[in-house]
């Protein structure tokens, strides 16, 4: 088939949506499909099967969006139509301007279309500190349903959590497929040499965009409260708008933390030599970085936030802490630091649970979803 993948956000693989898009694109190509990519990644201009539209001009917000590490797309109609012309199927990653234009043209041309669900309302409302206001979050969900998702033939939900959240908010049932974005085969438990300077340290790692809803501040505060703060080497893998604030917050830690953006291969080495992985996010649709820690067999501690899917990944309550409560997290960290033998048993439990997130199997299910939708549209 000729499949057009519409990416409102694409570029460096430094965010979950871009990683999910590129994983799907690579898999579909490997399976023999012709894959056209519609995006605004200017670096892709001139590459075969890439159709590049301009970046969306957000005026005074351009610098902020760039700092977050993404670039949004402006739906230039002639480029969009060229990308979709003759396509057997369209898969759109996000309900933004480019995805909305693609959905409109798909409807016009009667081309089957599926769409990913890779955002939460709170990803937007948290930036204006209104993520606790449920009516606003529900209004965001209703808007993207009315302007995008109601026009697609099926929705890909990475977790049951986000499917339930969306459908309960809009009070509608959707034709949904719950399929994890999966974890690549190279992400696995393996020997990784720990830097000599960490030899006598307890290495605690978290990874992800530095943002309010990711709650890295809770972890920094928890380390300050830990009985073992003099021994904890905290590593915050990532980048984002909150970096200056987090660095100020961490100044009084006895062991200076490491703030660094790691490549996809580097972070797997860090995961494997770390002692504990913490995913403190308050808002999380799936949490690929959390799944990667599990795939490496790390003792993984997560928030019990009702807005995060990662709570589903915890082995039991001993691996969770009260959302945005540094004291609760400090207590959990101290518990596991004091129990290295029990930690080994839990690492094995986590490693066994990772089987469900094998990326090749997840991508096969994505392909099956596309085939089913295309066949349904044809009436076969």
Query: What mean pLDDT do residues 296-312 have?
Result: 94
What percentage of residues in the chain have a pLDDT greater than 70? 94
> What are the pLDDT digits (tens) for 86-116?
999 999 999 999 999 999 999 999 999 999 9
Of 102, 108, 91, the C-alpha closest to 20 is: 91
What is the structure's pLDDT at 68?
A: 53
Mean pLDDT of the chain: 91
Query: Which pLDDT belongs to residue 378?
Result: 82
pLDDT exceeds cutoff 60 at 59: no
Bridge partners, residue 113, by sequence: 90
Q: In the CATH scheme, what is the code of domain 196-357?
A: 3.40.50.2000
Q: CATH 3.40.50.2000 occupies which residues in the chain? A: 2-182+358-378, 196-357
Once rounded to an integer, what is the mean pLDDT over residues 70-95? Answer: 92
Name the class of domain 2-182+358-378: alpha beta
Q: What is the pLDDT of residue 60?
A: 44
């Amino acid at each position: 088939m000729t499949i057009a993948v519409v990416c409102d956000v694409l570029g460096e693989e430094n965010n979950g949506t871009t990683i999910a898009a590129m994983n799907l694109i690579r898999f579909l190509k490997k399976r023999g499909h012709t894959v056209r990519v519609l995006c605004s990644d200017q670096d892709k201009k001139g590459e075969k099967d890439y159709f590049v539209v301009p970046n969306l001009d957000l005026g005074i917000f351009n610098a902020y969006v760039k700092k977050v590490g993404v670039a949004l797309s402006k739906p230039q109609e002639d480029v969009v139509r060229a990308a979709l012309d003759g396509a057997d199927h369209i898969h759109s990653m996000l309900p933004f301007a480019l995805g909305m234009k693609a959905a409109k043209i798909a409807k016009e041309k009667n081309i089957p279309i599926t769409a990913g669900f890779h955002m939460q309302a709170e990803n937007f409302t948290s930036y204006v500190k209104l993520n606790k206001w449920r009516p606003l979050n529900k209004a965001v969900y209703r808007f993207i349903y009315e302007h995008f998702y109601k026009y697609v033939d099926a929705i890909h939900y990475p977790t049951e959590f986000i499917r339930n959240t969306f459908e309960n908010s809009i009070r509608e049932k959707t034709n949904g497929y719950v399929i994890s974005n999966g974890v690549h085969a190279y992400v696995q438990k393996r020997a990784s040499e720990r830097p000599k300077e960490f030899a006598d340290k307890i290495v605690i790692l978290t990874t992800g965009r530095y943002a309010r809803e990711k709650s890295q501040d809770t972890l920094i505060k928890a380390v300050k409260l830990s009985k073992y703060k003099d021994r904890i080497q905290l590593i915050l893998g990532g980048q984002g708008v909150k970096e200056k604030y987090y660095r100020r917050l961490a100044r009084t830690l006895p062991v200076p933390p490491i703030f660094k953006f790691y490549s996809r291969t580097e972070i797997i080495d860090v995961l494997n030599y770390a002692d504990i992985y913490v995913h403190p996010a308050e808002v999380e649709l799936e949490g690929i970085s959390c799944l990667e820690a599990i795939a490496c067999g790390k003792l993984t501690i997560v928030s019990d936030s009702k807005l995060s899917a990662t709570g589903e990944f915890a082995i039991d309550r001993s691996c969770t802490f009260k959302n945005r409560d540094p004291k609760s997290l400090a207590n959990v960290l101290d518990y596991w630091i004091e129990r290295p033998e029990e930690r080994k048993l839990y690492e094995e439990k986590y490693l066994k649970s990772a089987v469900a997130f094998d990326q090749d199997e997840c991508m096969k299910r994505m392909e099956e979803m596309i085939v089913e939708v295309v066949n349904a549209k044809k009436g076969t």
